Structure 1
Amino acid sequence: MPRYLSKNIKKVALRQTVPVLCTWLLILTLFNGRTRFEDETGPATAPKREFRGVWIATVDNIDWPSQKNLKPEKQREEFKALLDFHRGNGLNAVFVQVRAAGDAFYAKSAEPWSEWLTGRQGKEPVPFYDPLEFMIEESHSRGLEFHAWLNLNRLVHKSSVSVSQYNLCYLKPEWVLEYDGYKLFDFGIPEVRDFIVESVVNVVRNYDVDGIHFDDYFYPYQVAGKTLRDDGTFRTYGKGFSNKADWRRDNVDKLIKAVHDGIQQTNARVKFGVSPFGVWRNKRDTPEGSETFGGMTSYDHLYADARKWLREGWLDYIVPQVYFSFGFGRVPYANLVDWWTENAFGKHLYIGHAAYRVGAEDVDRNWNSKVELPNQLRFLREKGALGSAFFSSRSLKRNTYGITDSLRNEFYRLPALVPTMPWKDNIPPQPPLNLRAEINENDVLELEWDTPEAARDNEKPWYYVLYRFDADERPTNHDPAKIKGIAYKGNKITDPDARPGGRYQYFLTAVDRLHNESRPAGPLKLRLQAADKE
């Protein structure tokens, strides 16, 4: 038990100093008893640990900011409102697009400011602020992980109307491939890969991000009648490869490994994840493939071998875009989830959901079912996937068929801690010190504690989790229904549900940056009763 607990039973009566209709008497019992906080599994209302993310797209002002030329104050207001909305729906992570097309939504960048932030590429915010610093701080204050989402392949988007003279398509035209209205990096050039790696390392070095995130854009999606003209690069750098497809995959493999190594060397705490196209390969093409019959695959058409990246340990998590319904015959949702579950190689698997397809006019009419997305969430939990991500923020805001209501009121009604990554950090923090309670000036039970010393990896707590049990309950740590509060700032949590007549036992844990949970402080056993009016 924590060293601050008395061996003797003590009773402390705390009365309010502010007159109220019904003053409480708090009977506080501190003792060195044998009540244990069991670390076990068992029936729970919902997962205690689950990744719950959303993509916030900035390209073409899809999600944020709502338009190009908003004043910085309005941009900040919009972003805070988005975070409040998603936090209120039970989410615990955001993927925010901070490099959309040869640009940046942050100050410390070799590339120009984004036109979708300021109206013209290269123009800085006026009055000046650093959006990435702001977004990270606001996300963390709400208990949301912040993953910096970078489009690694684009220099000019087909919807771009403003391209700075400092865009690399002008500064390094030999690095550029033109395809279907886009200007893209040529991944076959070693200097291009070096630049991308340094861009990622620059973000990791200068910003307090939780993760670096790439989406599905590697080599471009193929368009009928269009040819990606990298023959010259292949002749220069393709020695040892009998075909261009294998060479392209090797280029992307080298890039992913180099990004992983760069992150690891700069800040090993930062996670690295990718959201590839949902189908790696079909079983008809290789025995290792999925029971799907799609025409396009990530491996064969985008040259992205995400299965290899997981197997080699270059990724910490994967978010395949399983943007298909259960009833879509060529690529059934269940078949893909089954395949990814079996091919995660010990890394985290989160399922990417097509929230934008719900209720939309779609060739797949299964998306007109109100139960399609809820059933997908139930299925992935049954299969053991560790969470979900939704594309995109505005689709959840739209709340078609009440999908967001389902998250708020059912699936994500209870809080969830982000799953741990023991290969990155498996050392829990020290437990909180001196857990205590009082009735505050608002007639609400308030618990307070002291910050412990750093753990042996020199980490202090990142946040705290308060559990409450009835006096006759056996305390266990697996059920999120027992979490009464999470403190992301400060060392206090209130329990507004505590009522006179209640007999409770409280436990408090500390959680570090990678969500390892400490041994508990407690039990703090309380009996609350109403006192006579003065």
Structure 2
Amino acid sequence: MRKFWLLLTATLSLSPALAQSAAAPSRPEVRNPAPGELRGLWVDAFGPGLRTPQEIDRLVADARAMGVNVLFAQVGRRGDCYCNNAAMPRTEDPAVPAGFDPLQDLITKAHAQGIQVHAWIITTAIWNRLEAPKDPAHVFNTHGPSAQGSDNWLMVRHDGATRGGADYYLDPGHPQAAAYIREMYLSVVRNYDVDGIQFDRVRYPDQNEPAGQASWGYNPVALERYRAETGASGIPAPNDERWKAWRRQQVTHLVRSVYLEAKALKPNLWVSAATITYGEGPATLRDFRTKTRTYNEVLQDWESWTRLGYLDLNVMMNYKRDFVPAQASWFDQWNAFGRLARGPRYVVSGAAIYLNDQASSVNQARKAQEAGLDGWAGYSYRTPDADVNAQKRTYLEVLPELAGKLTGPGAPFAQTASWGQPSRGLHAIRGRVTAQRGPLGGRSVELWTGGRLFARTQTDGEGRYGFVIFPLGEVELRTEGAAPLRLTPALGRVNDAPELSIP
């Protein structure tokens, strides 16, 4: 049996106001067996794969030949959608025929072959060109550089920059920006029979200045929220630990909110994230928090997301070259840590097939199996090995070769495998805190059970909170200044709590 990780001592010691869990005894938790073995393939929208009916026919046939049972399909590229019915405007990609709905076509064809479709959306990056989008309703046009005051949702760097590399980003510390991001995902869940949704780039950007410090997140609205919720004054330095913890928490709030809202719509939906694994892997949970760029520079605390149940599936972007000894070691280290940190959820090793020769990719798929993970995924369909990435060969030449090496006698995928739905037992609460005065965000909400404090969380900028993993039976919800609420959440769904109202 695995321990149910309720406590994260280092988080509590860092900032009690940002703690995720309360000091309560841990209890044994049996991890539900995985519903098969995930064999995934990322299909990005920057080349062939999703743009036409013919490309999708070929994609599905290739996926089946490779033994793939899950397609992570990039339907959200930069504030747009390779679909016709979402909160984001339809893509401007000229390769997509007028009126054609790539996502719907992919779902129909993939499901006919027993292959799942998980809608992959870039979370915060919304535009990457100097010329504006053609659609006036695109979020870059309505809430980008030309918007004034609180209508401007863009991420700002400490030095005033609003563009990281080629990209403009939305700031998750701005409540309206976070709400828009949430709706990007939920609109796809409502309108399409997807098997899952996947966060990508659900974090703060790279391109930090000063280098090595978390220098993004200085949107004026986010800064004002931080000061109001914490009592801080002035403009914090990028490496200010309290400021880093607050920003890290905004990303976690966003993941939690999307998870709860999406699972309320479709309890059997997979919610996953493509997570960062820069450099060598940590050996312990403490190392993750103290030594990784993941936690300290891009402020992505994916360890807490799996422990607290805010994801069903963690797909680590474990992008390492197998033929480089140091990187091969890092690949193994992150696999080991992913297994250590998965809690009651599932973890997959995502491999960079575009950086590797075919033999190396096959070896990494085998190593993911040997590490005891729940599967493997390759990035990406249009660049299936290093030769294609270097433009020495085409993906059409390489894909049949890679399929044969993955599925042939003695190969990692020689035996077929299925991937089912998330394990049964969804048991969650979502609610809101309202207040006549003071900020809605940053308020502590406690969950008590059996007369003991079991868990503590915080509200986001809209006053939303939630709990995903807790015992069956009656619970009590408390926040300072409001009357406690008692309820008995039902198993199998997301339960709505009445408002915690503070006069």
State the TM-score bracket (shorter-chain normalisation): 0.5 to 0.7
Q: Distance in 2 between matches of 1:269 and 1:420?
A: 6
CA distance in 2, matches of 1:189, 1:411: 45
Distance in 2 between the 1:328 and 1:306 partners? 26
2:47 equivalent in structure 1: 61
Task: Look up the match of 2:342.
Answer: 344
Aligned residue number for residue 132 of structure 1: 103
CA offset digits 1:393-415 (Å, max 9, x no partner):
02334538944321131322331
Rounded to whole Å, the distance in 2 between the matches of 1:350 and 1:220 is 23
- d(CA) in 1 for partners of 2:371 and 2:359? 18
**From 123, 127, 130, the counterpart of 1:152:** 123
* Equivalent position of 2:333 in the other structure: 335
SS in 2 for 1:329: helix
In 2, Cα distance between equivalents of 1:287 and 1:131: 41
1:100-499 matches, cutoff 5 A = 100-116=77-93, 125-126=97-98, 128-158=99-129, 162-172=133-143, 173=147, 174-177=152-155, 178-180=162-164, 181-223=166-208, 228=216, 230=218, 232-238=220-226, 239-240=229-230, 243-279=242-278, 283=282, 288-289=286-287, 297-325=293-321, 327-329=324-326, 332-359=330-357, 371-396=359-384, 397=395, 399=398, 402-409=401-408, 410-419=411-420, 421-423=422-424
How far apart, in 1, do the equivalents of 2:373 and 2:290 lie? Answer: 19
Structure 1 residues 229 and 412: CA distance shift in structure 2, 3 A: closer
Counterpart-to-counterpart distance in 2, 1:375 and 1:169: 42
Q: Secondary structure at the match of 2:271?
A: strand
Post-superposition shift, 1:348? 1.3
Please give the alpha-carbon distance, in whole angstroms, between the structure 2 residues aligned to 1:383 and 1:113: 40
Matches of 1:56 and 1:117 in 2, distance apart?
18
**Local SS of the residue matching 2:382:** helix
Q: Is the 8 A contact 2:41 2:381 kept in 1?
A: yes
Contact 2:281 2:333 in 1 (8 A): no
Q: State whether residues 351 and 379 of structure 2, in contact with CA within 8 Å, keep that contact through their aligned partners in structure 1.
A: yes
Q: How many residues align?
A: 351
Percent of aligned pairs with the same amino acid: 23
The amino acid that maps onto 1:101 is R
What is the CA-CA distance between 1:141 and the residue it aligns to?
Answer: 0.5
Over the aligned positions, Cα root-mean-square deviation in angstroms equals 3.0
What is the rounded CA distance, in whole Å, between the counterparts of 2:256 and 2:363 in structure 1?
36
Report how far residue 132 of structure 1 moved.
1.8
Instruction: Report the Cα offset of residue 149 of structure 1.
Output: 0.6
Normalised by the length of structure 2, the TM-score is: 0.64
Asked if the contact 1:89/1:408 (under 8 Å) is kept, the reply is: yes
**Shift in Å, 1:179:** 1.6
Question: Unmatched 5+ residue regions in structure 1?
Answer: 1-46, 66-74, 120-124, 360-369, 427-534
| Cα separation, 2, equivalents of 1:190 and 1:301 | 22
Structure 1 residue 292, shift from structure 2 partner: 11
Alpha-carbon distance between aligned partners in 1 of 2:280 and 2:179, rounded to the nearest angstrom: 29
Structure 2 vs 1, CA of residues 101 and 336 (structure 1 numbering), >3 Å: closer, same or farther? same
